[in-house]
Structure 1
Amino acid sequence: METRKVQLTGGTTFTVSLPKPWASEHGIESGSLLYLYPNEDGSILIEPEASSERGAYTATVDIQSYNEGELIQAVYALYLCGCDSITLIDSTGDVSDRKQTVQSFLPHLIGFEIMEVSSKNLILENLTNAESISIRKSALRLRLIVLSMQKDALVGFAENDHELAKQVISRDDEVDKLLALVMRHFQRSLESLEEIAQLDMSRADLFEYYYTTRQLERVGDHAEKIAELVMSQSEPIADDLCNKICGLGEESRRIIEESSNVILSDVDISKAFDILQRRDDVVSEITQLDRELYDHESAKIAHQLGLILDSLRRSADYGANIAEAAIQNSARTGTLPDQR
């Protein structure tokens, strides 16, 4: 760490000298343009002009040895890393043959379109920017879908409704797409201060949103798992048992919704402590019911219902993870109740 004294120049301007080794390393000389990013904590970040341009970058990949699955994974990885332009080439053949594979995957990537197709190049470009994206709205929409997925999955379970279960499974793609969008901008923010400025969020806040959406996506995975179990359900389940399981599902959804509200809607942090206690209570109820299944149900039904209860337990835990993250953030920012 180096220190510098602030000097007054011309009677009206404060100036601070830059460390010469750092300036030389980044090609800074007299007349160079620097970007200054003030933070709420009183610090200020300085970024050279060349570094600020890293947020908008391109990638070229020779895909001649890639099979269909590898091609999709490569494009997806470049999207998550923040590429704005992806050029696919095939050094041994006609790359346009891969258009159908890429085109079928594009609905999973928000903002990307195929801009050019030729025998030599297949170019994908991002048509959105951070200023047009609301991370908060994306997270809220993801939560809405996830909660409705779990609710409908349990309705499908109670009513043995396979059609509703199929609808739940189909909604998981939208959850994955929204999570990928948040992940993309979080990844870009690690390299580009301009990304943070355009999103109008701090890195700490963006990480909270990323962490929250990651936990919510896992809840969606377990809702999908419950729906898949419904698809294999053949024997009717007693009404009282269905009601107990659906009631536990409702409580787990309440935990998830209220914990994410602490981060997404700035609900009082004291709510997070209550959520952790309620998670413990729900997990205890789930564990007790799971034990009772093997005393009253066939081994096949007990196993299936045990898997559903396990998904509800894990979903409640994911909600608690969000609450714990909110508490940790409050500790970091000095906003815990009675923290001085």
Structure 2
Amino acid sequence: METRKLQQVGGGTYTVSIPKEWATARGLEAGTPVNLYSHLDGSIVVRSRAKDSDGLSTITVEVDGGREQVARALSAAQAVGFERVTLTAGEPFDAETCRAVRSLVRQFVGTELVDEQEGELTVRNLLDASDVSVRQSVVQLQYVALSVHEQATGSFVDADAGAYDRLCERETETDRLCGMVVRHFSRALVSLAEVDRVETSRPELFEYYETARRLRRVARNGVTIARAGRRLTEPLPETVAAELDVLSNTARGIVEGASNAVLEGRDTDRVHEILDTGTEARATLEAFEDALVADRSEMSASTTRDVVAVARCLDALRRTLDHGDAIGDVALQAAMRDDRL
């Protein structure tokens, strides 16, 4: 670190000197144009235009033409934040792969397949970052993820085997929303202009990114519960159903409270209360699970298939609590940083 004083030039311009060795090491010299960025966190960044070029504009990726590799490559390029992605293969893409690409592109926000040739597929993102609210995307993701989880646990208690297929479609919506947040976070790691376009500070952008990833997993846990519900051969005993209902409501309350703390306010005491509730809920879940394993629960007369289904549901609820704790940790760390800075 070097310390410099601002110097005033003329009527309203300030200048600051840069150590010569710093400039030389980065290929800068007198007359070299640079970009200046002023961020919401109070920082002012000087960056060479050569280094600040749009390196995320286009990419060409060679693939073997197989559907799985094509999907992985396209998903990775989308997450990194490239504006235009061209996939090339030594042989023409078959019809099945092309259909898979079209289906995958529909899951990305603001993206479309713009060119389709025999050995080349080009996808372009048309979404303007300045039109995106990352925070609002996380708010919407929170709503959808908790709704999926609630419907899934309700279908499990009611032994509704058809809920799984319905919820898989809604899970795709959480993937789309989370993917958009991940994309803008990844772009901001490379492009300083991206931070300005989304009008979010870098620390906040990381908090939204981490919260979005956890919320998507909450939705996936819900789908896992719905899948386990298809194994039930009969409705659950009332006491077991009531216990699962309480645990699932508690888990969702923790996720909702923790994510609200990230999105709306960082009350340290409130976050501690949420995390303490998670600790208590985990102890209750483990006690119930121990009774189930020891054959002392209300399911002692149930089939092995039903007991396994409940065990899988409990495991998904435990992971939901884990994700709630992780979001709570993000909120707590943010609160401490805000109090200090």
Normalised to the residue count of structure 1, the TM-score between the two structures is 0.90
1:89 aligns with 2:83: no
Q: Which runs of 5+ in 1 are unaligned?
A: none
Q: Is the 8 A contact 1:112 1:124 kept in 2?
A: yes
Distance 1:60 1:89 in 2: 7
Could you tell which deviates more after superposition, 293-302 or 236-245? 293-302
Identity %: 31
Q: Is the 8 A contact 1:223 1:311 kept in 2?
A: yes
SS of the residue aligned with 1:52? Answer: coil
Q: Is the 8 A contact 1:55 1:194 kept in 2?
A: no
Q: Once the two structures are superposed, what CA deviation does each residue of 1:119-146 show, in whole Å capped at 9, x if it has no partner?
A: 4542211101211111111111111111
CA RMSD of aligned residues (A): 2.2
Distance 1:10 1:325 in 2: 46
Q: Is the 8 A contact 2:41 2:201 kept in 1?
A: no
Q: Is the 8 A contact 1:57 1:84 kept in 2?
A: yes
Distance 1:141 1:35 in 2: 35
Normalised to the residue count of structure 2, the TM-score between the two structures is 0.90
Distance 1:52 1:235 in 2: 62
Distance 1:72 1:21 in 2: 46
Write out aligned runs for 1:209-248 (5 A).
Answer: 209-248=208-247
SS of the residue aligned with 1:190? Answer: helix
1:17 aligns with 2:22: no
Distance 1:93 1:285 in 2: 57
Q: Is the 8 A contact 2:106 2:112 kept in 1?
A: no
Distance 1:41 1:264 in 2: 17
Tell me how many residue pairs correspond in the alignment.
334
Q: CA deviation at 1:30?
A: 4.7
Could you tell which deviates more after superposition, 253-262 or 239-248? 239-248
Distance 1:30 1:95 in 2: 51
Distance 1:311 1:42 in 2: 42
Question: What residue in structure 2 maps to residue 310 of structure 1?
Answer: 315
Q: Is the 8 A contact 2:70 2:87 kept in 1?
A: no
Q: Is the 8 A contact 2:266 2:331 kept in 1?
A: no
Question: What residue in structure 1 maps to residue 283 of structure 2?
Answer: 284
Q: Once the two structures are superposed, what CA deviation does each residue of 1:211-258 show, in whole Å capped at 9, x if it has no partner?
A: 111111121121111000111211221122111211111111111111
Q: Is the 8 A contact 2:65 2:93 kept in 1?
A: no
Question: What residue in structure 2 maps to residue 295 of structure 1?
Answer: 296
Write out aligned runs for 1:239-278 (5 A).
Answer: 239-266=238-265, 268-278=267-277
Q: Once the two structures are superposed, what CA deviation does each residue of 1:8-46 show, in whole Å capped at 9, x if it has no partner?
A: 222542211233444455554555443322244433111
Distance 1:46 1:227 in 2: 52
SS of the residue aligned with 2:190? Answer: coil
Letter in 2 for 1:93: E
SS of the residue aligned with 1:295? Answer: coil
Q: Once the two structures are superposed, what CA deviation does each residue of 1:42-61 show, in whole Å capped at 9, x if it has no partner?
A: 33111222333335421012
Q: CA deviation at 1:291?
A: 2.1
